[in-house]
Structure 1
Amino acid sequence: MTSRSSAVLDVAQAPFYRAVGDEVEVFRAAAVGGLPLLLKGPTGCGKTRFVETMAAELGRELITVAGHEDMTSADLVGRFLLKGGETVWVDGPLTRAVRAGAIFYLDEVVEARQDTTVVIHPLADHRRELPVDRLGVTLPAAPGFQLVISYNPGYQSVLKNLKESTRQRFVAIELGFPPPEIEREVIAHEAGVDAATARALVRVGSAIRNLDNSPLREVSSTRMLILAGGLVAGGLNLRTAVQSAVVQALSDDADIVAALGELVDAVLPQP
């Protein structure tokens, strides 16, 4: 399992993020009391960037873990390891966050086994504590600790959904793809492209998202459009960039790829 910890950043160093609704205000209010947050939204809509931005604004360390099916509770809490011939305890990322009063962000929580994610329950209610069974102790969350989880409800199968016993412990924020004017600004800033290119990419994204009876499991995300913009900034022509970063990434089915290619040709300005 890999975890990522970011140093505390000041507001001037905060990652670029443009709010779409009241998500910033809800996060700030939840942070006052350390209330746990659940972020819902499609892949690539900016959930992780939002958490990174809020951690920087609040001046808090952020520890991020990506959920996956092989994750165990020991991956989160910690384990005994052999070091230099001695057995020593090594805190997991969740325990480090609890001790340090950091924001702990578990991305795609439903990808982890349900018997693993149960370990977060005592941190997500009035107890605000983490039982560390192997040490025989229960750690109270340090001031500033906040638990944030995310998932994509539209993508998960029935077998991979968030349990009600977990969901009801969290304040929920629903995020989506930004409106065109904000998405254009985000793409131009992140990819380093001009306004005309950003506008064209947003048209492509909107066209794919609005397909009737779409066979796609996922649609073109803002992240995909930024990647396409990055290819353009690197010298690739717009059509080839979209084909590589969006069309080919969305499907391996030759018929679907061909249909998406035709759609892109119709949407993009003629060369």
Structure 2
Amino acid sequence: MADDSSRKRKVRGRKIRSDRSRKESRQAKKKLARKSSNGTSSSSAQSGDGPLSAPEAVAPDPFIETDAVASLRSRITGWLEAEKPVHLIGPTGCGKTALALSAAAERGRPVVWINGDESVDTAALVGANAGGERYKETDQFVGGVSKKTEVVRERWVDNPLSVAVREGATLVYNEFSRSDPSAHNVLLSVFEEGVLERPGKRGEDRTIDVHPEFRAIFTSNDVEYAGVHRQQDALLDRFVGVHIDYYDEETEREIVKSHVDLSDEDIAAIVAKTRTLRDELDLVVGTRAAITAAKGLAVFDGQRNGDGDGEPDEFDDELLTDVFMDVLAPKIAGEGPEDVSQLRTQIAESV
């Protein structure tokens, strides 16, 4: 007869295998969508090559759609239909990116993704010369005379913004406010005159007329976050801003449940503790933290309080403290041991 620890290992293994199976299934669906996508305006969207992606390939999976989520997405798609760029603003871990991708996929147009950071400049958005093509021509038309001519042609490569405006794609610009504001000057003419200028490009095709189906969704953390830049008012004035906060408790439970194989009672307890820590700690404790904590607790599922009261066994308090400490400790990385000790004390008291 197997001992109790063996049974716990089997339970833990089953949960891990189940989680992996669901993940592999989602990846297979997205891969199939990339191969079989049709109705897009570019062959690169169908093949998965280049910055264009088929809408089916970027749609978040899993994606929970409660009334609160559907209402927010409806606002976003409504503004897109009104031909306005939408700026989603809110704390980290509240689901801005998933919401943006879901709204983009719902349009049924190709999607172009940009991730903002300090290295993004104008060239990273619109394109640049990627070296030259050099070759020689030899003319021996006259006997005994050899004439050689060296020809150099510049090779221009379009980057995501140029591709999106030309193909009528939905641009999803994640972490928009982490990029230098000077990189975004080119967006002013896109949203005002319907023309994209490509600095460094010569000739008549220096500009691209913006496709009538082009739309843009931007996501940003609140301005108090480290590494966030205040963007120019002239550009922000052309956006509509939709502020996103953490969802209601029911929605958070459904989101966590879609990622982890745990009982409804366990999910409810984890979400409740996450929301309590969110209120009590001077840290950002997002829905992502609840998902991570739930995944950890699914692995350590065998450690329960068996108090014999006939009710479902709860997770051990010390285990809960350890798991939430591990999830939230990176937020105070680099601070002193007293801060680490204080955080653990606050989590333990809350648990």
Q: Could you tell me how far 1:162 is from its partner in structure 2?
A: 2.5
Gaps of 5+ in 2: 1-49, 135-152, 304-318
Mapped partners of 1:36, 1:106: distance in 2: 11
Query: Which position in structure 2 is the counterpart of 1:210?
Result: 279
> Aligned pair in 2 of structure 1 residues 149, 10: CA closer, same or farther (>3 Å)?
closer
> Aligned pair in 2 of structure 1 residues 11, 111: CA closer, same or farther (>3 Å)?
closer
**2:133/2:155 contact within 8 Å kept:** no
Mapped partners of 2:332, 2:57: distance in 1: 40
Q: Could you tell me how far 1:84 is from its partner in structure 2?
A: 6.3
Query: Which position in structure 1 is the counterpart of 2:235?
Result: 166
Mapped partners of 1:190, 1:208: distance in 2: 21
Query: Which position in structure 2 is the counterpart of 1:34?
Result: 83
Query: Which position in structure 2 is the counterpart of 1:251?
Result: 332
Mapped partners of 1:12, 1:43: distance in 2: 20
Q: Could you tell me how far 1:43 is from its partner in structure 2?
A: 0.8
Mapped partners of 2:96, 2:243: distance in 1: 9
> Aligned pair in 2 of structure 1 residues 241, 156: CA closer, same or farther (>3 Å)?
closer
Matched, 1:51 2:100: yes
- TM-score, normalised by the number of residues in structure 2: 0.66
> Aligned pair in 2 of structure 1 residues 119, 197: CA closer, same or farther (>3 Å)?
farther
**2:114/2:174 contact within 8 Å kept:** yes
- Identical-residue share of aligned pairs (%): 25
Deviation string 1:208-258 (CA, Å, 9 cap, x unpaired) is: 22127x3x4xx111112212222233446652432222x212212333333
**2:126/2:161 contact within 8 Å kept:** yes
**1:10/1:59 contact within 8 Å kept:** no
Q: Could you tell me how far 1:154 is from its partner in structure 2?
A: 4.4
Query: Which position in structure 1 is the counterpart of 2:63?
Result: 16
Matched, 1:146 2:227: no
SS at match of 1:209: helix
Deviation string 1:185-207 (CA, Å, 9 cap, x unpaired) is: 11111233332232222223222
> Aligned pair in 2 of structure 1 residues 105, 35: CA closer, same or farther (>3 Å)?
same
RMSD of aligned alpha carbons = 2.8
The more displaced of 101-110 and 248-257 is 248-257
Gaps of 5+ in 1: none
> Aligned pair in 2 of structure 1 residues 12, 139: CA closer, same or farther (>3 Å)?
closer
SS at match of 1:149: strand
The more displaced of 187-196 and 74-83 is 187-196
Letter in 2 for 1:68: D
SS at match of 1:200: helix
Mapped partners of 2:154, 2:324: distance in 1: 52
Q: Could you tell me how far 1:267 is from its partner in structure 2?
A: 3.7
Query: Which position in structure 2 is the counterpart of 1:230?
Result: 295
Letter in 2 for 1:51: A
Mapped partners of 1:97, 1:44: distance in 2: 27
Query: Which position in structure 2 is the counterpart of 1:264?
Result: 347
> Aligned pair in 2 of structure 1 residues 71, 11: CA closer, same or farther (>3 Å)?
closer
Q: Could you tell me how far 1:11 is from its partner in structure 2?
A: 11
Mapped partners of 2:112, 2:130: distance in 1: 21
Query: Which position in structure 1 is the counterpart of 2:159?
Result: 92
The more displaced of 255-264 and 139-148 is 255-264
**1:14/1:52 contact within 8 Å kept:** no
**1:123/1:141 contact within 8 Å kept:** yes
**1:7/1:62 contact within 8 Å kept:** yes
SS at match of 2:259: helix
Query: Which position in structure 1 is the counterpart of 2:285?
Result: 220
The more displaced of 183-192 and 24-33 is 24-33
* 2:323 maps to which of 222, 231, 241: 241
> Aligned pair in 2 of structure 1 residues 192, 154: CA closer, same or farther (>3 Å)?
farther
Matched, 1:130 2:177: no
- TM-score, normalised by the number of residues in structure 1: 0.84
Mapped partners of 1:45, 1:155: distance in 2: 16
